[in-house]
């Protein structure tokens, strides 16, 4: 237990839609979006209420810690995708998937909390990280609590939904372990990178959208399409994350740049840059990348070496290819505004500013 608990964070009021899709839509699109926006924002609010409700514990300390964790838990892209998919499949109300949306948000947040303990992270989304704010012991326990509440929520659904969620969680955990096996190691290459992000990022989104399609009463083929869409979008999203770690705006991101470089986490960007660099520079890149305690000048030199190659442009193109694949997966979805919105989201995943 640390000293006095921090002041509770202000309730999340911003919605990330405009930031995510704002760059990629034209004027016609913006007009269409403006009619969806209030509906989807209301969906996110409803999901947030369900989340807040389920986090209540008899012990205020645990409730406070759990709510803090969720308030710093990110852009709520998962519930947004789930709500839009459900509506794209013809549903008029997202009430039936509210608990599932809250569950996947909780699972995602639980892993972020435990990640921050493991990485000794100081900041998350511009606020003190959980371990910084509440100490290591309560952070571990709060992560467990979020997992437990997530499974309690998932228990409202059919066995296949529960099993799909549990399998995605196992993938997620396996992804973390797999990622750690290649820390500071540039030799494992692209194949290993994709194996990690499919498990660490894509599996949970894919499984959530598959379950949403199932709850919407979709055919097995459409359920598979929803899974494929979620998987490709998740990969695009993660590749974009890797780029933002080097070229993003730290104020928008809410965390310092270069964390992947600092932690020796081989991203597609570092792997591609490494592959492109010539002999002497390649050796220098590897030596710097493998340093356990990098100073700012090491990080800046790594960035300089990356920027001396075409890696960033190639990686951005790769992210867009996954976006395209995600969009292609929607081919059998019913046409309409929400399907268009899912296409925007896929484009936004590969092109978002944060």
- Per CB under 8 A, 141 contacts a second copy: yes
Select the residue interacting with a second copy from 176, 260, 263, 284 (CB under 8 A). 176
The total number of residues shown for the chain amounts to: 354
- Per CB under 8 A, 106 contacts a second copy: no
- Per CB under 8 A, 87 contacts a second copy: no
CB of 163 to a second copy, least distance (A): 5
- Per CB under 8 A, 151 contacts a second copy: yes
The number of residues that bind a second copy (CB under 8 A) is 42
- Per CB under 8 A, 2 contacts a second copy: no
Beta-strand (E) ranges in 178-237? none
- Per CB under 8 A, 144 contacts a second copy: yes
- The nearer residue to a second copy, 53 or 144, going by C-beta atoms, is 144
Select the residue interacting with a second copy from 30, 170, 252, 300 (CB under 8 A). 170
d(CA 254, CA 19): 14
d(CA 79, CA 101): 5
Which DSSP state fits 51?
H
d(CA 100, CA 135): 29
Tell me how far CA of residue 243 lies from CA of 132, 175, 352, in angstroms. 26, 20, 10
Select the residue interacting with a second copy from 34, 49, 180, 283 (CB under 8 A). 180
- Per CB under 8 A, 61 contacts a second copy: yes
- Per CB under 8 A, 130 contacts a second copy: no
Please name which of 7, 278, 260, 296 lies closest in space to residue 128, comparing C-alpha atoms. 7
- Per CB under 8 A, 62 contacts a second copy: yes
Q: What b/e readout covers 22-60, taking b as 16+ CB neighbours within 10 angstroms?
A: bebbeeeeeeebeebeeebeebbebbbebbbebbeeeee
Collapsing DSSP states into helix, strand and coil, what is residue 166? helix
- Per CB under 8 A, 230 contacts a second copy: no
Which residues form the interface with a second copy (CB under 8 A)? 1, 57-59, 61-62, 110-111, 114, 117-118, 136-138, 140-141, 143-145, 147-149, 151-152, 154-156, 159, 162-163, 166-167, 169-170, 173-174, 176-178, 180-181, 183
């Amino acid at each position: 237990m640390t000293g006095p608990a921090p002041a509770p964070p202000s309730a999340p009021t911003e919605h990330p839609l405009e930031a995510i899709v704002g760059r990629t839509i034209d004027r016609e699109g913006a007009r269409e979006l403006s009619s969806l926006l209030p509906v989807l924002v209301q969906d996110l609010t409803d999901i947030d209420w369900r989340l807040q409700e389920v986090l209540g514990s008899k012990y205020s300390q645990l409730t406070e810690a759990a709510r803090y964790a969720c308030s710093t838990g990110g852009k709520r892209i998962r519930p947004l995708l789930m709500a839009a998919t459900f509506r794209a499949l013809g549903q008029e109300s997202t009430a039936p998937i509210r608990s599932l949306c809250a569950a996947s948000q909780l699972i995602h947040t639980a892993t972020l909390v435990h990640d921050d303990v493991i990485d000794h992270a100081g900041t998350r989304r511009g606020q003190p990280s959980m371990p910084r704010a509440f100490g290591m012991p309560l952070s571990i326990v709060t992560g467990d609590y979020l997992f437990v509440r997530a499974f309690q929520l998932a228990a409202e659904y059919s066995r296949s939904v529960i099993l799909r969620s549990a399998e995605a969680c196992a993938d997620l955990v396996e992804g973390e372990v797999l990622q750690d096996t290649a820390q500071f190691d540039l030799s494992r290459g692209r194949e290993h990178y994709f194996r990690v992000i499919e498990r660490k990022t894509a599996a949970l989104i894919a499984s959530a959208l598959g379950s949403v399609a199932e709850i919407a009463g979709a055919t097995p083929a459409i359920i598979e399409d929803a899974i494929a869409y979620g998987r490709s979008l998740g990969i695009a999203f993660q590749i974009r994350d890797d780029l933002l770690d080097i070229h993003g705006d730290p104020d928008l991101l809410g965390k310092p740049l270069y964390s992947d470089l600092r932690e020796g986490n081989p991203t597609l960007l570092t792997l591609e840059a490494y592959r492109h660099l010539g002999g002497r520079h390649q050796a220098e890149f590897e030596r710097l990348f493998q340093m356990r305690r990098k100073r700012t000048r090491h990080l800046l030199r790594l960035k300089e070496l990356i920027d001396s190659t075409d890696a960033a442009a190639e990686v951005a193109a790769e992210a867009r290819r996954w976006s395209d694949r995600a969009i292609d997966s929607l081919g059998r979805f019913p046409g309409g505004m929400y399907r268009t919105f899912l296409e925007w989201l896929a484009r936004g995943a590969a092109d978002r500013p944060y």
